[in-house]
Chain A
Amino acid sequence: MGGGPFKEHLLCLLPAPESKEILDGLRKKFPNIEITYRQVSMTSDAEEQIKALPEGIWKDVTILYTLFSFPEKPSDAPKLKLVQLISAGSNQVQKHPIYTETNVAITTSSGIHGPQIAEWCVMTALVQSHKYNSLHDLQKEHKWGKSGGKTDYHDVRDMVGRRLGVLGYGSIGRQVGRVAKAMGMDVVAYTATPKDTPEKKKDRGFIVPGTGDIDGEVPSAWYSGLDKESRIHFLKQDIDWLIVSVPLTDQTHHFLSTDEFKALSQDGKKPAFVTNIARGPIIDQPKLIEALKNNTLAGAALDVTDPEPLPEDSELWDLPNVTVTPHVSGVGSSYTERSFKVLEENLTRLDKGEKLLNEVKRERGY
């Protein structure tokens, strides 16, 4: 192999088979980067698999592209300058010495999940409001509804004029907001810090074309503040449907508990519907169950729980207005392709010495 040494060495350790098409595309676009790909499994043998990697593989790695596979000790990978995660969250690396003891840049794939997760949010909300589960049961029984015209369905209510509250107006929240607005809803947004200028309302991250809310025009009102008072103030805004899309950090752990559910539902007078696609521990789950059982909340859709897997005996499985799915909302065929686009963007920026996309700020935890 004539010519100079590679400038960078990219190691991909991912729980998916290698896509020759994507890798060839990358190699073509970045001839100075040596690319090594290894598939790792999603099971708990992951650590074993790290150990099974060829000795010394880490010493030349400058860029790591992974989900949860890191060098055991930072000193194993002395040349490492960038860790690109394929997840939106970075919790899985936050206890690792790479995070706690080094300044190695860590970037996430925030921005790729919006469309798919937003679809899941809309689907599960509509499944509840249109009583799809009953319709499905009727279909299985070959039954054309009740006899005599007027059925249970006359109390179905559509979303027009109702209010969507987005707790965490990031890329996923923005896409839910976009779709909700198209359905005729009013959207109110909540962020950690105030977005009190048009500039601050913009989304500077990765946006899947044709989606999102790049200029921050969708919400009719914005709220912010990590303290409880600010949070309760937001939740009291007559919200019919709340999406939880904040990152899990020390501040957002058990962000929503009894007081918050009460505020959300005007003390049970206007029971709201809650959707969680972020991380289970953001919601105080036993309190959620209580609020659902005493009708403080109208229902919930949870793609994430605390813990995961959700234990078989959890009451959540059988509550009538609750949908539970096994952390699949972000999983799909476009995932890999879009995540590689973020990687591509960051490889370009790294090369040019530009600010990276989706860099985790250790001081704030995401």
Chain B
Amino acid sequence: MGGGPAKEHLLILLPGAEPKEILSALRKRFPHIEITYLSASPSPSIPDKAWNDVTILYTLFTFPPSLSLCPHLRVVQLASAGSNQIQSHPIYTSSDIIITTASGIHGPQIAEWCIMTALVQSHEYNKLHDFQKEHRWGKKEAGSDFMHVRDMVGRRLGVLGYGSIGRQVGRVGKALGMDVIAYTATPKDSAEKKKDQGFIVPGTGDAEGVVPSAWYSGLDKASLRHFLKQEIDWLVVSVPLTKETRHFLSMDEFKALSQDGTRPVFVQNIARGPILDQPALIRALKDGTVAGAALDVTDPEPLPEDSELWDMENVIVTPHVSAAGVAYEERAFRLFEVNLERLGKGEGLLNVVRRERGY
């Protein structure tokens, strides 16, 4: 096999069934890449030899046992938005191997989960569902029971972490008639900086950053609390988990958010459980500092059976499913394809993890 571009060796290690169609399309599109697929579950037994030639690894949570086994590895593409799962591995701690994430593919599905759970709360769906199970046409004066339901028009959505997921929640929030305000780690004080340069699922997101009416930033407590005090009705937590964002929200922050419980606020977490100080959240929910919550992520996961969160009437807990769906795999591969293209051309990749900031 003489001439042509240097041969790349791509190893794909994913749980679940082999994505045959996707793989054959990939092989067709990138004939100079030798592509090996191995199943990552239940417990992968990957021969050392499989690691030796690898130049590109596409994986979720399966990594080489040691760096020395994969001397040619140059890119690790994760199938997740977060990169926490690799951050204690020597690939992350002791090498310069480029690590990229699948940030950008999760927006639509997770945003739907956010909208759904917010509306389930505000429209009292659980009660309606109970009526349905009892074959009951509400109370006699059904109108009066739900008279206090309030729609989202004119209410404020605060997006803590205006990344790809946050932008999609913002987009839908705006369509619902809400005012949206955004928070980012560093200031987005120019039109350029407000843009989303990453992967965007067509027809979604906020590429230009025009949805928010105001922007806030800063990883220090003062900046965070300043944002939280902006009369937010609904807070979506969509920051990455880093050492700065661990326990980002605790009792002081919940108090700032709700002005000491005088304003009802609904908090959603679709990022990582430890971003919220969970015992503090529970206290805040019990004493009315926070009016309600929807959590797709908890600390730890699985959420222990005896956690008080399960039974709280104003809390929705789901088992880290908000991103799971039929489009996930396809979109992750599409993003990966963009990166393979760019790699081939020597261009900068999408979603490169910056080790100095942790995401």
Interface size class of B (residues with CB under 8 A): 35 or more
Residues in chain A near residue B306, CB distance under 8 A: 142
Interchain CB contact (< 8 A) of B151 among A43, A115, A178, A314: A115
Within 114-134 of A, Cβ neighbours of B (below 8 Å) are at 115-116, 118-120, 122-124, 126-127, 129-130, 132-133
Residues in chain B near residue A181, CB distance under 8 A: 175, 203
Interchain CB contact (< 8 A) of A326 among B113, B138, B302: B138
Complex CA distance for A325 and B125, rounded to whole angstroms: 9
Residues in chain A near residue B214, CB distance under 8 A: none
Interchain CB contact (< 8 A) of B321 among A145, A159, A312, A335: A145
Chain B CB within 8 A of A100 CB:
no
A331/B146 contact (C-beta < 8 A), A130-B113, A179-B175, A326-B138 known: yes
Residues in chain A near residue B319, CB distance under 8 A: 135, 138, 143-145, 151
Chain B CB within 8 A of A1 CB:
no
Residues in chain A near residue B144, CB distance under 8 A: 42
A183/B128 contact (C-beta < 8 A), A42-B143, A139-B317, A154-B324 known: no
Residues in chain A near residue B321, CB distance under 8 A: 135, 145, 151, 153, 156
Q: Mark A173-188, 1 if CB is under 8 A from B, else 0.
A: 0000011011111000
Interchain CB contact (< 8 A) of A333 among B148, B176, B204, B325: B148
Task: Across the interface, name the chain A residue whose C-beta is closest to B329.
Answer: A154
Task: Across the interface, name the chain A residue whose C-beta is closest to B315.
Answer: A139
Q: Mark B186-223, 1 if CB is under 8 A from A, else 0.
A: 00000000000000011110000000000000000000
Chain A CB within 8 A of B310 CB:
yes
Within 246-282 of A, Cβ neighbours of B (below 8 Å) are at none
Chain A CB within 8 A of B305 CB:
yes
Chain B CB within 8 A of A150 CB:
yes
Interface pair B310/A139, CB less than 8 Å apart = yes
CB distance from A80 to the nearest CB of B (A): 26
Interface of A is mostly: loop
Interface pair B132/A323, CB less than 8 Å apart = yes
Residues in chain A near residue B327, CB distance under 8 A: 157-158, 160
Chain A CB within 8 A of B15 CB:
yes
Complex CA distance for A22 and B136, rounded to whole angstroms: 34
Interchain CB contact (< 8 A) of A317 among B135, B204, B317: B135
Residues in chain B near residue A179, CB distance under 8 A: 172, 175-176
Interface pair A333/B128, CB less than 8 Å apart = no
Within 91-142 of B, Cβ neighbours of A (below 8 Å) are at 108-109, 111-113, 115-116, 119-120, 122-123, 125-126, 128-129, 131-133, 135-138, 140-142
Q: Mark B242-255, 1 if CB is under 8 A from A, else 0.
A: 00000000000000
CB distance from B39 to the nearest CB of A (A): 12
Chain B CB within 8 A of A92 CB:
no
Interface size class of A (residues with CB under 8 A): 35 or more
Chain A CB within 8 A of B23 CB:
no
Complex CA distance for A160 and B110, rounded to whole angstroms: 12
Interface pair A328/B325, CB less than 8 Å apart = no
Other than the given A145-B302, A179-B175, 15 more pairs (CB < 8 A) read A42-B141, A42-B144, A43-B141, A115-B177, A123-B125, A126-B112, A140-B310, A142-B305, A142-B307, A145-B319, A149-B15, A154-B324, A183-B172, A318-B135, A326-B138
A residues contacting B by CB (< 8 A) are 15-16, 41-43, 115-116, 118-120, 122-124, 126-127, 129-130, 132-133, 135-136, 138-140, 142-145, 148-151, 153-161, 178-179, 181-185, 208-211, 308-310, 312-314, 317-318, 323-328, 331-335
Chosen A-B contacts, 21 in total, with CB atoms closer than 8 Å, are A116-B151, A119-B123, A122-B116, A123-B119, A135-B319, A140-B310, A142-B306, A145-B321, A149-B41, A151-B319, A153-B321, A155-B326, A160-B202, A184-B108, A184-B201, A312-B135, A317-B132, A323-B128, A325-B128, A326-B131, A328-B142
Q: Which 8 A-B pairs have the closest CB atoms?
A: A144-B302, A309-B137, A145-B319, A326-B138, A182-B175, A123-B119, A126-B116, A184-B203
